[in-house]
């Protein structure tokens, strides 16, 4: 692996490279003498004979030296004709691999042992005369220094890898499919490969052969590099996934290079775990060819522009990717080091080798070039910037017509390719399988394109629903769907059809025909009478998490496989069978189509019970009753007690998963929810499972039973939810699932919270081990890749199904308390519409009496005082909660006196204790913004960018613990103290300030509140509708958001979270041009958690204290909407009011959303409101 990728440690997963048959070629070698200045070259030993069984040299020792028959005696059957051809299990490399008397856990583990063959010295170690211990402390410490130096080096090749790197188009890759790389007389059908821009010209001939010798990898290796290779799809997805498997937890030291350098020509021996042949000879500036163990094809070039440096690039022809490398040799602390810099997808990784011997201890073979093929017969082919590169499209070994090694091993290479392919699904760039049938087959790029490629990224289904929710129309693939639900109904059958676009297959040509329908109706009636179902006919008690346990798991990082569930181990449902049976016949393997039940019957019960969370269940229910939902499917690859299952992406965010009987696996849901589940295979034709929906704490139980009925194989699924059992029937249409397996990833450590033999819900220990099958893999990288999309998805789905009444507020809840809902606003009549508080004040102004819901208020102010606590109370109509029963009681009041005194003396407030100058807009700027359409997110402020107040902390910190999450009640200050200062300053505009003051001094104003849903650096906040026209908003740290005011004014603001327990903000009231600054700081005092708000207006600081009464905000988040483009007037890194640039990007987080639709709906009413409030306080 070194020669090409230089990865320090050959990835255990790379399928064994087949050893090359170079023995006959050696007899033709005419070795030039080494130069005088060079290190002693390897002696040209005479042929000592070839082993007839392995095809390898008979000379040599089993402990070390270049690859020979003695080294492979214990695995001799795997080498024939000089070729490494291991006999894998028919099901693939993930199965056990037996060689002689030894059985390896998997084929990958065998490869790890094979990959260092040929790298050791004759005594079996890695050292040599120049360096006895390449893995000692001295070299390890040196490597740390060298890595640091490498990362700061700006003299790397290809203009520090900034020159553009070419890759082949999809069309060019297709043209090369099936190309005969063994025929040296053929030209690439895609045309000449372009030289990467910046590739140095050949011509230099080294004088001292500094690369000559044996080199051992001492750092880097595949661990760092392959992660990047996988992310970019480099070497082809199958190859990349194969290589990654156990890289992190297996010692793969000893990857090596044996280099025979003769001026500008080198013969290089490297590990047979990746390259199918063990050595190759290349000449500077000329293409050479490498077959990969995976069956892939590599064409590459090395150029030697200086004495101690070589620069290369390599085309992986099956994917069309090009990756670039530099190797630089230098002396450090008496040792000769070779630093390899590899760039893949814009990221650079470093691998270091140490020279342990001047003697490579291996023989050279003749040069074989592939210039004619790679350059497609074109001399001076251009680079990717169109500049001609000096080259001749004629092979150095012309007129040799065939690559005889490839010819001899053609059958084996094809077999190898198929084996590797079946072991690991080959994915396209979007993370779906790489076939191109848009009619059927497993989910692939063609399906994605038809449904709208914009809704699929990184193997994740992330539909971009209408900004107002799933009940609105949406666009996908150029088509308009009536609602997002209708889109989902079409999406859910993706991947289930046969190649012709139908549901049938060889075993059942018409799963929806009369014969099958009649049979299923009979089966359904029989099922209702069956009393042999799992979990003692589902009569054993089913566990669920308590509300406290669900709360503990909120915000948990399900991507971190090293974390235990904070709620403790999930109990196994009583009656779960033990996981010790291993099926013999794999009866589940195949493609199954749902022929009854489907979503219609089952989801109705799921909705009633809240199973999977209300949002998820309501989403799926949508049009189930009046839309055909046939075609829900399963594609199952069963290997004994392990299965890879493809299922509908309308529910699960990823299309496939692999589980092993009795082990937890994890599933992210399209709704943003999190599922932890287990399947157990207690018999040949039966599997029993249970699934925890972590966001609701519900556990639901399932049994699937396969059996023949007439000429068909049927799979009956029995699902129990809330004590009711529903049945779904599948019929097997094909014994071939038509999709490929992927590696297993288990979540036993997390699900069992590190507890072995965790008990069931009746207290009986269940045989289990709290260690992941893929330990010590630390992250679910899929989840990491898609974290942001999952969070966004969760917000969208939650909001779409808040179940809104005709007035635009939530239906759920009670008139006594809870977040603002339809019941609470009933008494206010028509003052709430379209999600907006739009009170109808007296035509003369707010100081006059007003009517609302049949009640007459003394003035509009009195009405507002009653409104402002709406949405803040608990379910019983009080202000308290689990954390603080009585926020207005004596215990809290006593603490507040002390806290207020401490606050007055605090000199550590933000903005340099509010001493930094506070900006405000000039009258001219305010005038420019009059009449501005704040609903249009594509417009920039006419006054220019708003300056960041000097002293605003920079964004970047992402809180780990979400300390703001919960419901908070104001316990001091409230409006009374603060609003007086606001009035003096004219803050918020005189109208707004005077309106709020009204009866503040003689009316109780307790109950001002915050309901905060915090997710790292993003918060959804519910607050009083007496001031803000809408009840909630979502913001992200360091980004502008917009707030319309009840007064008709417009607010643009920013919150920044610089520390775990602190947020700092500023807010521009655009109608007055004022900017006011705030700090909120959370801390523990006594038995309570307080939030201290420090607000500065016109140079005066006032304090308000909130106490947290509940860790549950009891309200749902809504999608993020930012206004960076408008507020920053389209300019990046806008300055503070002291002229210092602030790191910011003038692009909305929800770009390309163009309108604040809420504002559009209420535009007329906002204008009336503004006029009315303004008239009230003229003069």
pLDDT digits (tens, 9 = 90+) for 796-846: 333 333 334 444 454 555 666 656 566 666 766 666 655 555 667 666 665
Query: Residue 511's pLDDT is what?
Result: 72
pLDDT of 651: 64
Report which DSSP code applies to 62: S
Percentage of the chain exceeding pLDDT 70: 63
Which is more confidently placed, 414 or 550? 550
Whether the per-residue pLDDT at 386 is higher than 90: the answer is: no
- pLDDT at residue 310, rounded to an integer: 95
Rounded Cα distance, 869 and 284, in Å: 78
Answer for the pair 206, 307: CB distance below 8 angstroms, yes or no. yes
Residue 295 — very low, low, confident or very high, per pLDDT cuts 50/70/90?
Answer: low
pLDDT at 1158: 58
Whether residue 776 is preceded by a cis peptide bond, meaning omega within 30 degrees of 0, is yes
Residue-wise pLDDT for 209-233, tens only, equals: 999 998 888 775 433 333 433 343 3
What average pLDDT does range 949-966 have in this prediction?
A: 92
Nearest to 431, CA basis, from 229, 239, 177, 237: 237
Q: Are 57 and 82 in contact (CB under 8 A)?
A: no
- Specify which residues 686 forms β-bridges with: 683, 705
Point out the least confidently predicted range of 208-222, 335-349, 723-737.
Answer: 208-222
Please name the helix (run of DSSP H) or strand (run of DSSP E) that holds residue 560, with its range, or none.
none
Q: Give the pLDDT of residue 236.
A: 38
Unique residue bearing structure tokens 């503004």: 1170
- Half-sphere exposure in the Cβ direction for 1124 (13 Å, CA): 23
253 or 24: which leads in pLDDT: 253
Is residue 782 very low, low, confident or very high in pLDDT (cuts 50, 70, 90)? low
Asked if pLDDT for residue 75 goes beyond 60, the answer is yes
Evaluate whether 688 touches 669 at the Cβ level (below 8 Å). Answer: no
| Per-residue model confidence (pLDDT) at position 240 | 38
* Between residues 5 and 473, the one the model is more confident about: 473
Question: Rounded to whole angstroms, how far apart are CA atoms 631 and 805?
Answer: 34
- 908's CB contacts (< 8 A; 6+ apart) are none
Highest mean pLDDT (candidates 251-260, 432-441, 608-617, 1114-1123) = 1114-1123
Predicted pLDDT of residue 406: 58
**pLDDT value at residue 389:** 93
Give Cβ neighbours of residue 847 (< 8 Å, ≥ 6 apart): 859, 860, 861, 1176
CA distance 24 to 462: 57
pTM of the model: 0.37
841 CB-near residues (< 8 Å, 6+ apart): 848, 850, 860, 1172, 1173
Q: By three-state DSSP, how is residue 327 classified?
A: strand
Regarding predicted confidence, which is higher, 1167 or 546?
A: 546
Query: What residues contact 570, with CB distance under 8 A and at least 6 apart?
Result: 545, 664, 676, 692, 699, 751, 752, 753, 758
Q: For residue range 477-497, what is the model confidence (pLDDT) as tens digits?
A: 777 876 665 566 566 455 556
pLDDT digits (tens, 9 = 90+) for 870-901: 656 676 777 788 898 888 788 888 888 888 88
For helices 990-997 and 974-985, give the axis angle rounded to 10 degrees: 150
Collapsing DSSP to helix, strand or coil, 606 comes out as helix
Least confident of 491-500, 991-1000, 1038-1047: 991-1000
Query: Nearest 5°: CA angle at 550, between 549 and 556?
Result: 100
């Amino acid at each position: 692996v070194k020669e090409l990728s230089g990865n320090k440690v050959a990835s255990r997963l790379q399928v064994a490279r087949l050893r090359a048959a170079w023995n006959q070629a050696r007899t033709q070698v005419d070795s030039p003498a080494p130069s005088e200045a060079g290190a002693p070259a390897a002696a040209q030993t005479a042929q000592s004979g070839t082993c007839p069984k392995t095809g390898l040299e008979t000379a040599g020792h089993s402990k070390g030296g270049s690859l020979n028959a003695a080294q492979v005696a214990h695995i001799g059957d795997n080498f024939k004709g000089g070729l490494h051809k291991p006999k894998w299990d028919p099901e693939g490399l993930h199965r056990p691999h037996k060689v002689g008397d030894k059985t390896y856990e998997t084929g990958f583990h065998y490869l790890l042992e094979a990959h260092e063959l040929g790298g050791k010295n004759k005594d079996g170690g890695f050292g040599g005369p120049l360096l006895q211990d390449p893995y000692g402390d001295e070299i390890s410490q040196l490597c740390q220094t060298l890595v640091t130096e490498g990362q700061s080096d700006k003299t790397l090749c290809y203009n520090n890898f900034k020159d553009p790197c070419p890759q082949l188009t999809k069309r060019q890759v297709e043209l090369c499919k099936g190309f005969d790389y063994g025929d040296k007389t053929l030209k690439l059908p895609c045309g000449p490969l372009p030289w990467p821009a910046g590739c140095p010209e050949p011509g230099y001939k080294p004088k001292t052969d500094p690369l000559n010798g044996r080199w051992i990898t001492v750092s880097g290796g595949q661990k760092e590099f392959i992660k990047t290779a996988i992310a970019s799809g480099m070497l082809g997805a199958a190859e990349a996934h194969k290589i990654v498997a156990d890289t992190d937890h297996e010692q793969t030291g000893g990857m090596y290079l044996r280099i025979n350098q003769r001026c500008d020509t080198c013969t290089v021996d490297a590990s047979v775990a990746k390259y199918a042949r063990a050595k190759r000879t290349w000449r500077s500036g000329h293409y050479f060819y490498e077959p990969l163990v995976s069956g892939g094809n590599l064409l590459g070039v090395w150029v030697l522009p200086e004495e101690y440096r070589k620069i290369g690039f390599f085309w992986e022809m099956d994917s069309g990717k090009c990756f670039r490398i530099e190797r630089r040799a230098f002396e450090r602390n008496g040792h000769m080091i070779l630093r390899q810099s590899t760039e893949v997808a814009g990221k650079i990784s470093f691998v270091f080798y140490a020279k342990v011997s001047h003697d490579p201890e291996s023989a050279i073979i003749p040069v074989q070039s592939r210039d004619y093929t790679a350059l497609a017969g074109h001399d001076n082919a251009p680079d990717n910037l169109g500049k001609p590169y000096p080259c001749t499209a004629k092979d150095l070994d012309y007129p040799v017509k065939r690559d005889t090694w490839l010819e001899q091993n053609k059958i084996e290479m094809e077999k190898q390719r198929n084996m590797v392919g079946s072991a690991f699904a080959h994915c396209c760039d979007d993370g779906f399988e790489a076939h191109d049938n848009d009619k059927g087959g497993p989910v692939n790029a063609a399906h994605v394109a038809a449904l709208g490629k914009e809704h699929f990224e990184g193997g994740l289904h992330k539909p971009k629903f209408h900004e107002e929710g799933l009940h609105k129309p949406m666009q996908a693939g150029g088509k308009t769907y009536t609602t997002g639900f209708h889109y989902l109904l079409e999406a859910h059958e993706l991947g289930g059809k046969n190649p012709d676009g139908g549901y049938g297959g060889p075993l059942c040509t018409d799963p929806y025909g009369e014969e099958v329908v009649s049979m299923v109706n009979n089966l359904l009636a029989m099922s209702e009478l069956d009393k042999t179902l799992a979990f003692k006919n589902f009569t054993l008690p089913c566990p669920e998490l308590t509300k406290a346990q669900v709360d503990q798991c909120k915000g948990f990082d399900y991507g971190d496989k090293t974390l235990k569930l904070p709620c403790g181990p999930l109990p196994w449902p009583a009656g779960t069978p033990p996981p010790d049976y291993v099926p013999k016949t794999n009866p589940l393997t195949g493609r199954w189509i749902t022929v009854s039940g489907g979503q219609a019957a089952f989801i109705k019960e799921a909705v009633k019970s809240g199973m999977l969370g209300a949002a998820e269940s309501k989403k799926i229910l949508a049009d189930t009753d009046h839309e055909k939902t046939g075609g829900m499917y399963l594609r199952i690859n069963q290997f004994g007690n392990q299965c890879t299952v493809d299922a509908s992406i309308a529910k699960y965010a990823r299309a496939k998963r692999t589980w092993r009987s009795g082990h937890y696996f994890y599933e992210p849901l399209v709704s943003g929810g999190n599922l932890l589940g287990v399947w157990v295979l207690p018999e040949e034709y039966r599997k029993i499972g249970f699934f925890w929906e972590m966001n609701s704490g519900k556990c639901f139980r399932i049994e699937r039973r396969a059996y023949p009925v007439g000429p068909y194989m049927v799979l009956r699924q029995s699902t129990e939810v809330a004590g009711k059992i529903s049945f779904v029937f599948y019929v097997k249409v094909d014994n071939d699932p038509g999709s490929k397996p992927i590696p297993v990833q288990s979540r036993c450590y997390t699900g069992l919270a590190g507890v072995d033999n965790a008990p069931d819900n009746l207290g009986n220990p269940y045989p289990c081990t709290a260690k992941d099958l893929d330990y010590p893999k630390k992250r679910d990288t899929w989840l990491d890749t898609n974290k942001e999309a999952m969070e966004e998805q969760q917000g969208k789905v939650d909001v779409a199904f808040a179940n809104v009444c005709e007035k635009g507020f939530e239906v759920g809840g009670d008139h006594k308390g809870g977040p603002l809902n339809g019941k609470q606003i009933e008494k206010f009549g028509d003052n709430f519409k379209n999600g907006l508080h739009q009170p109808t004040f007296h035509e003369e102004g707010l100081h006059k009496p007003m009517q609302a819901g049949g009640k007459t208020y003394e003035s509009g102010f009195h009405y507002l005082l009653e409104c402002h606590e709406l949405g803040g109370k608990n379910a019983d109509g009080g202000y308290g909660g689990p954390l603080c029963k009585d926020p207005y009681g004596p215990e809290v009041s006593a603490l507040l006196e002390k806290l207020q005194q401490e606050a007055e003396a605090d000199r550590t407030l933000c903005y340099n204790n509010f001493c930094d100058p506070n900006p405000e807009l000039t009258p001219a700027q305010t005038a420019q913004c009059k009449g501005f359409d704040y609903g249009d997110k594509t417009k920039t402020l006419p006054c220019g960018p708003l300056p960041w107040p000097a002293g605003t902390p920079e964004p970047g910190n992402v809180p780990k613990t979400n300390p703001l999450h919960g419901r908070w009640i104001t316990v001091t200050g409230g409006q009374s103290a603060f609003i007086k200062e606001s009035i003096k300053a004219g803050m918020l505009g005189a109208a707004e300030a005077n309106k709020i003051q009204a009866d503040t001094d003689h009316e109780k104003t307790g109950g001002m509140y915050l309901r905060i849903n915090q997710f790292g650096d993003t918060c959804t906040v519910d607050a009083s509708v007496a001031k803000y026209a809408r009840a909630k908003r979502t913001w992200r740290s360091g980004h502008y958001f917009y707030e319309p005011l009840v007064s008709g004014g417009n607010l643009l603001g920013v919150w920044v979270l610089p520390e775990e327990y602190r947020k700092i903000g500023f807010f521009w009231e655009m109608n007055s041009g004022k900017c006011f600054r705030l700090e909120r700081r959370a801390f523990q005092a006594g038995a309570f958690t307080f939030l201290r708000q420090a607000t500065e207006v016109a140079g005066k600081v006032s304090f308000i204290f909130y106490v947290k009464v509940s860790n549950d905000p009891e309200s749902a988040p809504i999608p993020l909407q930012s206004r960076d483009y408008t507020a920053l007037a389209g300019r990046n890194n806008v300055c503070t009011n002291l002229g210092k640039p602030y790191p910011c990007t003038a692009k909305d987080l929800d770009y390309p959303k163009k309108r604040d639709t809420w504002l559009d709906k209420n535009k007329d009413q906002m204008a009336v409101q503004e006029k009315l409030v303004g008239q009230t306080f003229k003069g």
